[in-house]
Structure 1
Amino acid sequence: MKKAFITGITGQDGSYLTELLLNKKYEVHGLVQKSVTSATSHFQVLSLDEHYDVNQVTIHYGDICDYPSLIKILQEIQPDEVYHLAAQSDRQISFVSPLETADVNALGSLRVFSAVHDSKCDAKIFNASSRELFGSSPSQCPQNEYTKFNPDSPYAIAKLFAYYCAIYYREKYGMKIWNGILYNHESPRRGKNFITRKITRGVAKILSGKQEKLMVGNLDSVRDWGYAPDYVEAMWMMLQSKRPDDFIVATGTGHTIREYIFYAFSHAGISLEWIGKDLNERGIEKKTNKTLIYCSPELYKLKEKMSLIGDSSKAQKILKWKPKTDFKTLIQKMVDADLKMEGII
């Protein structure tokens, strides 16, 4: 039986990856901060909504900022595979807390790679990187593994440090480390601070009467959105491949915020029409003529010159991976989950 060690096991990706590995009969170990509670952890609800007993997973309390604890845990487990997902994942928070972001995303990743090396466990490592490496104005569209990096936030800079540390340990010590440059990937377990969940929760709360309107930024902003379970499968497939390498994981298709909102409300039975332009654009419910969508000056940003859309042809060719869930199905899954949470369905 293979052993896997997951940092960030309590997050969206960690919980789906846990399910995948348990289905494949892995012995799963996860790193959990003592401050994580059942109220904030997606992992804790696996036994409730995904038919898994959390007792199937061995929890190790520690922190990627605590190097001795990492060494001790890795020496104890001797995993075959390490999935490094733990991070401060909010780009906007990184501007407020750049030092904490650097300590977790940059130095925390370095500690993980170094701990695997120093504990002498011959594990394969997946490092979760981000499309933020290309910045908000990439040099080309779509982006591939050879597109120039242009990080423009403390979050992206820290992630780029981790990306190059992975390559350094791979080339210097022959360690088996894969970088996965992940584009936006969503699910019902996505954090409430992300725009996709903000939209689907907004739909549910408007229908339940708890919210009157949804405030968003630039409706023309384009994103490459995929489904998180598809993306954790790509992580696993990387570590089953023969040669450590770097891969973009993306759908290759871009959609605007406007499209996302339109299909989310449409799935819930609300038909929208759009009036106005730019910051003054609004989404109006056709049936009642009530304005439901407003653009907020605080959230509004100019549209990127080049859209952040990933070219995953390398992963499709070498790993035989491709996304299984289309844009509309992703939205339907998320809307249904939030409607259920509000007791509407």
Structure 2
Amino acid sequence: MKKALICGISGQDGAYLAKLLLSKGYSVCGTSRDAQISSFRNLEYLGIKDKVKLESMALTDFRSVLQILNKIQPYEIYNLAGQTSVGLSFEQPVETLESITIGNLNLLEAIRFLGAPIKLYNAGSSECFGDTDEELGADETTPFRPRSPYAVAKAAAFWEVANYREAYGLFACSGILFNHESPLRPERFVTQKIVAAASRIAEGSNENLYLGNTSIKRDWGWAPEYVEAMHLMLQQDEPDDYVIATGESYSLEEFVAVAFAVVDLDWQDHVVIDKSLLRPTDLAVGKGNSMKAKTKLGWQAKYKMKDVVQMMVETRLAS
């Protein structure tokens, strides 16, 4: 039986990945900074909490990482941990940089130190690219131009993986994922904020939805599909990095319009633009080209933005 260690199992991607790996017969262990007090609400939502082994591990503490790797002896490690919000990274730049770059480096160094044949997946981010070409999108050859503390940290973690792969022959790869959503998204993410507000208004709330820049364009996919790509990357003969995206870009205004249309409302009656919500810097366009993933992994996104919004709103209304 293959053993997988998921760092950051309590998040959206970690929970869906755990469910996927369990369905494939894996023994799954997930870590949290303090597993005794973490709620693991997403695992409970998916009905798999009792099927997963949970351990406490501080990714920024090398000794802690080494102890857990020795104890679990995983075949595959999926590093999905660290601060995940672009907006929050402007307020907590040091914590963001440390949790992403040091945590990832500790995993790489622990694998090298142990000399074990462990395969590592690192959660990269499309934010590393900065603005992308609206026609072509970004692929694996597109240069990085990060424009937030979060993106800077993810870019550093990407190069850590590339360095250890080249210098020490580790099977380590990064998935450069564009935006991917699901009902497990917390409301601090604008997509879930929109879905939640539209659902409450449809049920009788007289609130307004306050948003910042609605002209930004993003490539939105369905998170349960994206974790399939993560798993596929570690099943290849050689480690490599892959862009994962739908290849379609839509404005936040279009996302809002679809969410309100699902509940038969006109978004313009309920949305207020709040300049205080604007970020110091923001990306105008995010669009990915995942042709390499299609060719080498056989992966292609089935669900696009409108499908994603529909599923998120319907799930919210049913809960």
Report the TM range for the smaller structure's normalisation: over 0.9
1:232 maps to a residue whose letter is: V
**How far apart are the structure 1 equivalents of 2:262 and 2:203?**
15
* Mapping of residues 154-303 of structure 1, within 5 Å: 154-270=149-265, 272=266, 283-284=267-268, 291-300=269-278
User: Quick one: structure 1 residues 65 and 21, their matched pair in 2 at CA, closer, same or farther if it must change by over 3 Å?
Assistant: same
**How far apart are the structure 1 equivalents of 2:68 and 2:263?**
46
TM-score normalised according to structure 1 size: 0.87
**How far apart are the structure 2 equivalents of 1:115 and 1:302?**
36
Match of 1:147 among 113, 120, 142: 142
Q: How many residues align?
A: 318
Deviations 1:178-217 (A, max 9, x none): 1100100000001211111011000111123345211112
Residue 288 of structure 2 corresponds to residue 326 of structure 1: no
Partner of 1:115 in structure 2? 110
User: Quick one: structure 1 residues 305 and 188, their matched pair in 2 at CA, closer, same or farther if it must change by over 3 Å?
Assistant: closer
Residue 125 of structure 2 corresponds to residue 130 of structure 1: yes
Report runs of 4+ in structure 1 exceeding 6 Å deviation. Answer: 301-305
Match of 1:98 among 93, 97, 103: 93
Residue 29 of structure 2 corresponds to residue 29 of structure 1: yes
1:254 touches 1:309 (CA, 8 Å); kept in 2? yes
**How far apart are the structure 2 equivalents of 1:262 and 1:18?**
33
TM-score normalised according to structure 2 size: 0.94
**Stretches of structure 1 lacking an aligned partner (at least 5 in a row):** 273-282, 285-290
**How far apart are the structure 1 equivalents of 2:305 and 2:91?**
32
* Offset at residue 120 of structure 1 (A): 2.6
**How far apart are the structure 2 equivalents of 1:38 and 1:150?**
35
Residue 284 of structure 2 corresponds to residue 339 of structure 1: no
User: Quick one: structure 1 residues 57 and 210, their matched pair in 2 at CA, closer, same or farther if it must change by over 3 Å?
Assistant: same
* Offset at residue 163 of structure 1 (A): 0.5
Greater gyration radius: 1
More divergent stretch after superposition (319-328 vs 176-185): 319-328
1:130 touches 1:159 (CA, 8 Å); kept in 2? yes
**How far apart are the structure 2 equivalents of 1:76 and 1:168?**
26
Partner of 2:84 in structure 1? 89
* Offset at residue 300 of structure 1 (A): 4.2
**How far apart are the structure 2 equivalents of 1:252 and 1:195?**
21
**How far apart are the structure 1 equivalents of 2:133 and 2:46?**
40
Partner of 1:275 in structure 2? none
* Offset at residue 39 of structure 1 (A): 4.8
User: Quick one: structure 1 residues 227 and 21, their matched pair in 2 at CA, closer, same or farther if it must change by over 3 Å?
Assistant: same
Deviations 1:74-124 (A, max 9, x none): 112211111010010111221211111111011111011111222232111
1:142 touches 1:307 (CA, 8 Å); kept in 2? no
**How far apart are the structure 1 equivalents of 2:137 and 2:194?**
26
User: Quick one: structure 1 residues 206 and 306, their matched pair in 2 at CA, closer, same or farther if it must change by over 3 Å?
Assistant: closer
Partner of 2:60 in structure 1? 65
2:272 maps to a residue whose letter is: Y
2:255 touches 2:309 (CA, 8 Å); kept in 1? yes
SS of structure 2 residue aligned to 1:205: helix
* Offset at residue 154 of structure 1 (A): 1.4
More divergent stretch after superposition (33-42 vs 102-111): 33-42
Match of 1:79 among 71, 74, 77: 74
Match of 1:314 among 271, 283, 292: 292
* Offset at residue 260 of structure 1 (A): 1.0
**How far apart are the structure 2 equivalents of 1:301 and 1:92?**
7
2:125 touches 2:177 (CA, 8 Å); kept in 1? yes
